[in-house]
Amino acid sequence: MIVREHEREFTMIEQHHHADTSFQIMGNWREDLFKKNALRKSVEYAIAKHDCGWQPFDIEPFWNEKDQAPYTFMNFPEPAKIVLYKNGIDEVEASDPYAAALCSEHYSRFLVNNKDHASRKFIQHEKERRERIFSSISSFDHDAFDFHYALLQLGDNLSLYLCLNEPEPTAESIHPFFKKGVAVSEPLKSFLDGTIQPNWKRENHIHLDPFPFKKPFTVTLKQKTVKKTAISEQGLIDSYISTPYEELTYQFDEK
């Protein structure tokens, strides 16, 4: 769950809704900036489904007693994260092994510095999964895989930019993840200079500099605004379930 806290409510975004917005964004990526176009559907599937393991956890969110707030993807207990990571990758692999390898790489990097047994076991299991998938692909291209993973990361980061910030954030209010812009990983740096700078023209209209997409485009994002009074009276799960979804629309274009 992605959560922004306000004085009287929490804005809450389910991880799979954030992933769907990532997919909407990266579906507009320029064809001439894509490697191995034959794999584009698999890459886009990985982007769309990279957080599918969170779905059964986010439908009935968990309350953090210490912080008196819903758990977020950043402070959700690590052992539970490992379970949902693996379940999500398993689900993706059942439909598209190449997409699963991208998701496996994504989650393995989250845990690479963890020294606990469960994390090390997960990383080893996922390494073996990726090796098995790679060996099943004729003339597997590691450089193309790294490029495709960089696209997954970028879609994830651009969607998170929307999810973690209030509309039209100021330099002071922008989330710490994005103080220097939206990060771009190495395989994309040759034409994106290391970061993409979003600039809000108005509440739902954002300029991107540079703009590696086909043309201006629009995306939607689902969220819920859950009142703190409702949580106090009904508990988090019941108040979350009874709160309707809102659908926000954002337009992206060139500077």
| Under 8 Å between Cβ of 3 and 136 | no
pLDDT in tens for each of the 255 residues of the chain? 999 999 999 999 999 999 999 999 999 999 999 999 999 999 999 999 999 999 999 999 999 999 999 999 999 999 999 999 999 999 999 999 999 999 999 999 999 999 999 999 999 999 999 999 999 998 899 999 999 999 999 999 999 999 999 988 888 899 999 999 999 999 998 888 889 999 998 889 999 999 999 999 999 999 999 999 999 999 999 999 999 999 999 999 997
Handedness of CA 166, 170, 176, 180 (dihedral sign): positive
Angle at 46 between CA 42 and CA 215, to 5 degrees: 80
H-helix segments, 10-63 = 15-26, 40-49, 55-58
pLDDT tens by residue, 122-131: 999 999 999 9
N-terminal to C-terminal alpha carbon distance within the chain: 31
Whole-structure pTM over 0.85, yes or no? yes
pLDDT, position 255: 78
Amino acid identity at 29: W
Q: Which residues contact 165 (CB under 8 A, 6 or more apart)?
A: 173, 174, 175, 178
pLDDT tens by residue, 65-103: 999 999 999 999 999 999 999 999 999 999 999 999 999
